[in-house]
Structure 1
Amino acid sequence: MTTATRPAPRKVSRPRADALRNRERIVTAAQQMFVEHGPDVPLDEIARRAGVGNATLYRNFPDRDALVREVVCSVMDRTAEAAERALAETGDAFTALEHFVHTAADERISALCPMVSGTFDQHHPDLEASRERVESLVEEVMGRAVTAGQLRPDVGAFDLLVAVAQLSRPPAGTDCLRGDRFVHRHLQIFLDGLRAPARSALPGSAVTVEELRQSCPTA
């Protein structure tokens, strides 16, 4: 009786540190330029902002959709990390929610919707995984504040995310960076309106996942 030969362990090649840094620089530059100039900014301009050559950009991201997807996922992942930090806070549950909201706004999630082109794969596994992680964590952050009696219970996670996206959008006719000075002020006004007990009944119903995805394909 012969013993089956086990296959040799597969060697996994790991990116060099400088290659990882280049990729991170490209994603950071792309996010900045998408926010400043919109999703159609030339890729060579992104490479120039990142301090890399065009060949390096295309080696990491073969087309615009791949780069857009990476930017969207990175923003959602950092938003999820902000929610995890809020959950790790042991103090006031509503204060933790406030910290999350202001951090999420700094990620400029309002820029995600227009970044999606008609050919963008909205159901790519990486995008789905990042989206589901954000959804679950935001619901947990809000649920803790509701349980503490500090957050009105008729507000859903997507009500919160839509409001953050809208309030972090620069006012029409203003430079997007100069408009930043309004963002956190207006977000705090909004957050104060979420405190329990509610002073009025909200019209309509909480935003659902399906409704949000129809209005913003990355949601």
Structure 2
Amino acid sequence: MSPSTPPGDRPLRADARENIRLILRTAREVFADRGYEVSIEEVARRSGLGMGTIYRHFPNKSALVERVAIDVMTETSAEIERALAEEPDPWAAFTRVMRQMAQVRSSQMFPVSRRRTTEPGPELMAARAALLVDLDGLVTRAQDAGGLRKDVNVFDLVLMLNSIPARIPDDETAGPSADLAGRHLGVLLDGLRSPGEETLPAPAADRRDLDQFFRTRFGF
């Protein structure tokens, strides 16, 4: 059951559904601006809703953060499906998804705070597992078509994407900051093109490496 689902799966009233959408939309904006360590009071302030309304749907900050993370991962899975259907070749689909994920990463939207104090729920873990399956399919398609080098795997990619720097807030007096994420990704994509000039050390990253990374960095 998601944090926004009432006990017994009773249908929510229209105003309650709208409040949840507003809370989640505002939370994403706040987390993108300030990171996941910002207080839930800031979400209430920006949304114009009372703390009681937020806590009615999300009993604590961890529940709200987790719901945002689930939405981000679910949206990324949907983007993979769209990219494979719409792009002319698997490499174009692959780079499209990588750019979307890099934008998510640079906006501090993925996936949860390293200071979480509760165990992640099954819905979060299921969304993460589904995303890994979808990414693996994307990787395989790009490799089979000859665009992506054969010696990388989905675990390598997730770990690489998490090295992309977070967005630096714009300075109103100095203008927009450099697109560090875009530059970082450009170099990364160039290095991922087949056949690749550099021999990569063995063994490659595996699920154990990825799980250890998420436990130490994000707490799950």
TM over 0.5: yes
Q: How does 1:58-207 map to 2 (within 5 A)?
A: 58-89=55-86, 91-108=88-105, 111-112=109-110, 115-122=113-120, 124-170=121-167, 174-175=168-169, 178-179=176-177, 181-207=179-205
Task: Say if 1:119 and 1:176 are closer, same or farther in 2 by CA, change over 3 A.
Answer: farther
Give distance in 1, aligned partners of 2:178 and 2:45: 25
1:173-203 residue CA offsets vs partner (Å, 9 max, x unmatched): x437955722223212211211111112112
Give distance in 1, aligned partners of 2:162 and 2:24: 20
* Structure 1 unaligned regions, length at least 5: 1-10
Query: How far did 1:114 drift?
Result: 5.9
- TM-score, length of structure 2 as denominator length: 0.82
Aligned residues: 205
Query: How far did 1:13 drift?
Result: 3.1
Give distance in 2, aligned partners of 1:134 and 1:146: 18
Query: How far did 1:204 drift?
Result: 3.7
Percentage of matched positions with identical amino acids: 33
* Structure 2 unaligned regions, length at least 5: 1-7
1:68-119 residue CA offsets vs partner (Å, 9 max, x unmatched): 1111111111111111112223511101100001111222375536614342
- TM-score, length of structure 1 as denominator length: 0.83
Task: Say if 1:91 and 1:133 are closer, same or farther in 2 by CA, change over 3 A.
Answer: same
- Look up the equivalent residue of 1:136 and give its one-letter code: V
Work out whether residues 26 and 46 of structure 1, in 8 Å CA contact, stay in contact via their aligned partners in 2: yes
Larger radius of gyration: 1
Give distance in 1, aligned partners of 2:87 and 2:32: 34
Residue number in structure 2 paired with 1:216: 214
Is 1:57 aligned to residue 37 of structure 2? no
